[in-house]
Amino acid sequence: MTSDRRIGPPHLGSERDTLRTFLDYHRATLAMKCEGLTDEELRRRSSPPSALTLLGLVRHLAEVERAWFRRVFEDHEAPMVWSDTVDFQAAYDASASTRAEAFAAWEAEVEVSRRIEREAASLELAGYQPRWGERVSLRMVLVHVLLEYARHNGHADFLREGIDGTVGA
């Protein structure tokens, strides 16, 4: 069983507050889906032959945070967390990873992302996305990362249910 300590997005608010709180809500959802599970359970594949695991999702989303905030707005050459190349699939292999390792990396990247967003004068802040070779706005990055979390939290629902039957939210 998990406890729901998430703070829901405002029903009325600025565009920035809405994007920020929806993203934080989805970050909290991922953490909640992993709550109370052992390292072994977090590494469990509920739908073989897929290698997707909850721990793999945490690792993948650490990469997403780095690729879309740190690498776009601060350091285009920052190495990825789990691969020497920009290989988002490498993060899914959590077979030798632990909760402590994966969550430490993810939480560190989330804090960098939050700082970048907080310090930006506006959603019009433009950065360079090295994978695309194009400039992108903070607004676009927030929406893109929010969609990544929403999609992967759907996977997390399925994975958690396969581990211990916990469903919902």
Tokens in use for 8? 């829901």
CATH numbers and ranges of domains, the chain: 20-164 (1.20.120.450)
Q: What secondary structure, in 3-state letters, does 41-76 show?
A: HHCCCCCCCCCCCHHHHHHHHHHHHHHHHHHHHCCC
* DSSP assignments along 118-143, one per residue: HH-SSTT-EEEETTTTEEEEHHHHHH
Full-model pTM: 0.93
Check residues 5 and 166 and name the one with the higher pLDDT: 166
- Name the token pair of 10: 């405002």
Write down the pLDDT at residue 89: 75
**Per-residue model confidence as pLDDT tens digits over 14-48:** 999 999 999 999 999 999 999 999 999 999 987 77
Higher-confidence position of 126 and 169: 126
Query: pLDDT of 64-103, one tens digit each?
Result: 999 999 999 999 999 999 887 777 777 778 888 999 999 9
